[in-house]
Structure 1
Amino acid sequence: MRKWICLFCPLIMILMLASFGTSPKNEIKVPEALIVREPTPVLFPKDRTKVPSSMVIPPFVGSSFVGFKEALAFKESQGNYFTINTLGYLGKYQFGIGTLQLMGVYNATQFLNDPTLQEEVFRTNLSRNKWILRRDIRRFVGKTIRGIEISESGILAAAHLAGPGNVKKFLRSYGQLDVADAYGTSISNYLKKFSGYDVSAIVAEKNPKI
């Protein structure tokens, strides 16, 4: 009896294993509801005002105009609308009183406490600088000066730092006349740091006012 058991047990085991191994894989079916046939849209509340600010993921700004202005603001003030630096420059983009007056803003307290006004002033000043530097933008964009590829966004950022007149001098001297602010940041530094952003939305305008 034991001999028969010893002979048939291995044969039975082989048959069982073979039956599992030869079962076609397509016998296991995924429920229709779980089959992904196309990309699933990302779910996000349409009304973002109801989402806690700590949970709202900002859009990818990259080299867009928003990316440009936020990068510049971070360098100037870390994006703080309500700050004044040691030299008396105001707000998110660090404007001086003289520049504000050129654009028709005379109340520094109102300016410092009004983020919307600060954004309007920033765009207006870009339009003003773009008008002043329009010929230099056409002449120098795409060229390399002191190892820096000149771009329109770099020129406008440098004008924000040191004024359009100083940027003209830098470009027309091919980098010989570089200017730095009181903290040691130079025109060449801004030309390099803020190169390659899309500022085409800014329209050059002569003597724009708020």
Structure 2
Amino acid sequence: MRRWISFISHLALMVIFASFVSFSTEKEVIKVPAGLRVLEPVEVCFPSETAIVSEETPNPIFLNNSFVGFKEALAFKESQGKYGVVNTLGYLGKYQFGANTLKLMGVYNVEDFMQDPVLQERIFQLNVARNKWILRRDIKRFVGKRINGVTVTESGIVAAAHLAGAGNVKKYLRTYGREDFSDAYGSTIAYYMRKFAGYDVSQISAQRNPKI
């Protein structure tokens, strides 16, 4: 009798074990709805340029070499693209302008400037136009030449002028890089020339003394 009970118990355990193995190894088949099926080859485009991420834009913004790409890349370097930033030296806004530079272009109310993103964008474009005018002869003379191992481009010159002022960029170019400039945070003309080379800034025309 005991042997019979033992046999029945072992048989029950084997049945349970076999059921468990069958259940655990069985693959679940999920059917894809007809509307979501890909039936033909699909071309996938990947970004070829820099991805910029900031707290205000948590999803990456992929930029090409257009003027928009140029200004957003420069803004990210200056302030992470934030309109409300004032740095430790008192430079203002998304593009970190000094108060004196703003006055040159007709902006005298700093508070209004800080609260107006449209004005900040407009001033940036005017400053590019202004620097291109001041450096117009140097742009014509030096674009395509190599200085400190970097091919000089118009966008590199414009970016360097934003950092150091057009006068310091003239010195840098005309001394073939021997007279560089470094700001309080260690950024140099040579670095900006390299970092912001190759963008298309042709949509902004040189303008003498532009004002808002």
1:98, distance to aligned residue in structure 2 (A): 0.5
CA distance in 2, matches of 1:35, 1:135: 56
Count of aligned positions: 166
1:160, distance to aligned residue in structure 2 (A): 0.1
1:61, distance to aligned residue in structure 2 (A): 2.8
Unaligned runs of 5+ in 2: 1-36, 44-55
1:88 aligns with 2:59: no
Q: 1:100 aligns with which of 95, 99, 102?
A: 102
1:35, distance to aligned residue in structure 2 (A): 10
Structure 1 segments of 4 or more deviating over 3 A? Answer: 34-40, 53-58
CA distance in 1, matches of 2:160, 2:59: 32
Q: 1:162 aligns with which of 158, 161, 164?
A: 164
CA distance in 1, matches of 2:60, 2:70: 18
CA distance in 2, matches of 1:208, 1:200: 17
Unaligned runs of 5+ in 1: 1-33, 41-52
**Superposition TM-score, scaled by structure 1 size:** 0.73
What is the root-mean-square deviation of aligned Cα atoms in Å?
A: 2.3
Matched residue SS, 2:139:
helix
Instruction: Write the letter of the residue equivalent to 2:143.
Output: V
Instruction: Write the letter of the residue equivalent to 1:198.
Output: D
Q: 1:175 aligns with which of 159, 162, 177?
A: 177
- Alpha-carbon distance change, 56 to 189 in structure 1, aligned in 2, over 3 angstroms: closer
1:125 aligns with 2:127: yes
1:37, distance to aligned residue in structure 2 (A): 8.2
- Alpha-carbon distance change, 114 to 178 in structure 1, aligned in 2, over 3 angstroms: same
CA distance in 2, matches of 1:125, 1:200: 14
Instruction: Write the letter of the residue equivalent to 1:103.
Output: M
1:102-129 deviations in Å (ceiling 9; x for gaps): 0000000000110000000000000000
**Superposition TM-score, scaled by structure 2 size:** 0.73
Q: 1:191 aligns with which of 190, 193, 205?
A: 193
Partner of 1:111: 113
Instruction: Write the letter of the residue equivalent to 1:81.
Output: Y
1:46-102 deviations in Å (ceiling 9; x for gaps): xxxxxxx989985x5311111100000000000000010000000000000000000
